[in-house]
Amino acid sequence: MGKGHLAIIGGTGLTQLKDLEISRREVMHTPYGEPSGPLTFGLYHGHEVVFLPRHGARHTIPPHQVNYRANIWALKNAGIETVIAVAAVGGITERMGPGVIAIPDQIIDYTWSRFHTFFEGDDLRSVTHVDMTYPYSDVIRQTLIAASRELGLNAVEQGTYAATQGPRLETAAEINRLERDGCDVVGMTGMPETALARELELKYACCAVVANWGAGRSEDLITMDEISRNLESGMARVKQLLAAVIGRL
């Protein structure tokens, strides 16, 4: 696979890309351990992509146990330059109701105790403090936005992603705090994935699908059943979006 190719990291609700015409799977070993699974190479609507489901092919790896470093390192070493990360999230602010697709432009890291950097060990002379002012690639975000407009998907074109530790969901008070912090959606996988992608100079953007209202934002408690139902329809639209985006990149 040549330089410049695109990877899609699938989240909950997107553990398979059904239309992917698979050419090969490659098991990668990295200095950081094993990625979530083999990298799947193939053609998606006529364009080469690599697919990697973040939680494993059978959705067995919880957010706090994903080997983010191995995943990002494996993609980089496969010659990938661009990553679109698909993620299921909870909605916090009014415009982020279940089913909405959001293309966040900012992120706040509330995770802890995760391996969150490639810069450790013996060579601290190399760049350690990467710039994260704008955490997502603007080029990729604008491509997602343009494709979403063309398809009439009504994506919310900016917002702040709160990355929480999980795997439990938040308390109502925590959701209120996240809103006071300026967050629009909440998920458990945005960090350290976003920062690690920046450390390895990958162009990275997030396509988030709102699966439920954040805790305390609806009458009902949050169930996995509700999350799965909303993701099913949301991910169908995300697949449309991905197909349109790949052609433009």
Strands (E), the chain: 5-10, 21-26, 39-44, 47-53, 80-91, 101-102, 106-109, 160-163, 185-187, 203-213
- 190 contributes a contact to ligand HPA by CB under 6 A: no
Per DSSP bridges, beta strands 39-44 and 47-53 are antiparallel
CA–CA distance, 158 with 16 (Å, rounded to integer): 26
Q: Distance (Å, rounded) from C-alpha 226 to C-alpha 223? A: 5
Assess 188 for contact with ligand HPA (CB under 6 A). yes
Rounded-to-integer distance, Cα 193 and Cα 83, Å = 11
Choices 72-80, 182-190, 192-200, 241-249; region in contact with ligand HPA by CB under 6 A: 182-190
Name the one range near ligand HPA by CB under 6 A: 76-84, 138-146, 185-193, 197-205. Answer: 185-193
Out of 50, 212, 230, 245, point to the residue binding ligand HPA (CB under 6 A): 212
Q: Which residues have C-beta within 8 Å of that of residue 135, sequence separation ≥ 6?
A: 106, 107, 194, 195, 198
- CB 217, min distance to ligand HPA, A: 9
Please, which residue, 188 or 196, has the CB nearer to ligand HPA? 188
Which among 244, 234, 207 is positioned nearest to 45, based on CA atoms?
244
Q: How many CB atoms lie within 10 A of CB 75?
A: 26
Q: Which residue is nearest to ligand HPA (CB)?
A: 90
> Is residue 214 a contact residue for ligand HPA (CB under 6 A)?
yes
Size of the site for ligand HPA (CB under 6 A): 14
CB atoms inside a 10 Å sphere around CB 48: 15
- Does 143 interact with ligand HPA (rule: CB under 6 A)? no
Binding status of residue 100 toward ligand HPA by CB under 6 A: no
Nearer to ligand HPA, 186 or 202 (CB): 186
User: Residue 187 interacts with ligand HPA (CB under 6 A)?
Assistant: yes
**169 contacts ligand HPA (rule: CB under 6 A):** yes
Interaction site with ligand HPA (CB under 6 A) = 88-90, 164, 169-170, 186-188, 211-212, 214, 222, 227
